[in-house]
Chains A and B, each alone.
Chain A
């Protein structure tokens, strides 16, 4: 497969805030070259809903609008951010106090903080730092999923409709 033009990633306002504030505006993202199922050019790239930025966006938006206390996506996002705080603390990117502050912010976050944001990432800007998710960790082994652990803010645009 040729290099994609762009990568898409759905994140939350809270994730953006934490990455921006505590991690020097380096953002941790999972991303896909296809926004949604309608954009898939071939049946060989069936990104399933769990990894489709479009599906993640729509689910998060619906959960936020409905104040869905049982939202799985919100729970995953919260705990992903907690995990991120632990990892960055281990790497000495943040100190003890900052880690606790992040955890407290996650704890106190209301639904509005989980409003989804769509990141559009030009692939050429990140081709050197993008990591392919191993096949056994992908929601669909034929789908393309990438991780960018330290995505500079200058390397992506945000769509916030």
Chain B
């Protein structure tokens, strides 16, 4: 998806929501350039184009014409698009000082129930980034644990193994987006340099110079940065680094309260699949039981920004919601689940 302005994203996403809600046929909808003909009266060419891109993705991932989608599926997509827009405007309002950090969660506000263990959402969203990675900050931040400095992912496993961190107090969340041939994420730790072609030595691999960050902080939690990677050939990467990543993830889990989010849609091409003790895909409902793995609706394009945001949001919200129900802190819950 090409870079667009925040306004075009907001309006284009709303236009997509409207088309979805009306059950319109995507094949009949073109970009209207005439200024006095709807939707040209309301939506710019960029906004319309953005909407159509979103809808094509949905249609493609659902493998069904847009107008044939069930009401439930359609509502699902509308809700996710709405959440995305809420985040965009919330960030703007937060930056303008018009809402507090604990008001950033739409659902919490709507329900008029101030969450006891609320999470603040801030979004690292420079205008030149078409893709958004949310920046999560748990409340009650007490400290940041620095895991170490390393510049090579294959050194990570060793580094984690040698870390002197107190595993009881640290939480390492590994989100590893593997499957799509055009977009994936590699977790990295503070102090790591950006990955580059030379370091990975994989033809076709490119990292974005616009490093995006995701920080998850709780008492004693780690900060993790992410590099958005793009590469044209997935399989060579898997072949080359399969063992490395499995080792890293295994050691990370042994050493820390770590959680791995894999991609169940392509188990045959997913190095994490080999590490999963569970059949894939699993449902969100089972997440509470399994926790180390997390599933997501198959209709999201796995490499898309929407998917990434949705997945991470779901994960964090699930942690918070469950912790709140149990009356414990998110960290306590994570440690409890890890020990099961």
Query: Which residues of A are at the interface with B, using a C-beta cutoff of 8 A?
Result: 48, 50-51, 67, 69-70, 72, 75-76, 78-80, 82-83, 86-87, 90, 100-101, 103-104, 106-108, 110-111, 131, 133-134, 136-139, 147, 149
**B240 on the A face (CB < 8 A):** no
**B239 on the A face (CB < 8 A):** no
CB-defined contacts of B110 to chain A, threshold 8 Å: 69, 110-111
What are the 9 closest A-B residue pairs judged by CB atoms, nearest first? Answer: A75-B82, A139-B22, A136-B28, A104-B98, A83-B14, A79-B14, A72-B75, A103-B89, A72-B78
Choose among A87, A107, A136 the residue that contacts B29 (Cβ–Cβ < 8 A). A136
CB-defined contacts of B13 to chain A, threshold 8 Å: 79
Quick one: given A48-B23, A72-B21, A138-B22, are A107 and B111 in contact (CB under 8 Å)? no
* Docked-complex contact A107 and B103, CB < 8 angstroms: yes
What's the minimum C-beta distance from A24 to chain B, rounded to whole angstroms?
Answer: 19
* Docked-complex contact B41 and A137, CB < 8 angstroms: no
CB-defined contacts of A86 to chain B, threshold 8 Å: 7, 10-11
What's the minimum C-beta distance from B92 to chain A, rounded to whole angstroms?
Answer: 7
* Docked-complex contact B82 and A78, CB < 8 angstroms: yes
Q: Beyond the given A78-B82, A110-B110, please list 6 additional residue pairs across the A-B interface where CB-CB is below 8 A.
A: A76-B21, A80-B14, A103-B92, A107-B93, A136-B25, A149-B41
Interface extent on B, as a size class?
A: 35 or more
A76 to B22, CA, bound (A): 11
Interface residues of B in 1-56 (CB under 8 A from A): 7, 10-11, 13-15, 17-19, 21-25, 28-29, 37-39, 41-42
What's the minimum C-beta distance from A35 to chain B, rounded to whole angstroms?
Answer: 18
Quick one: given A78-B82, A82-B85, are A107 and B109 in contact (CB under 8 Å)? yes
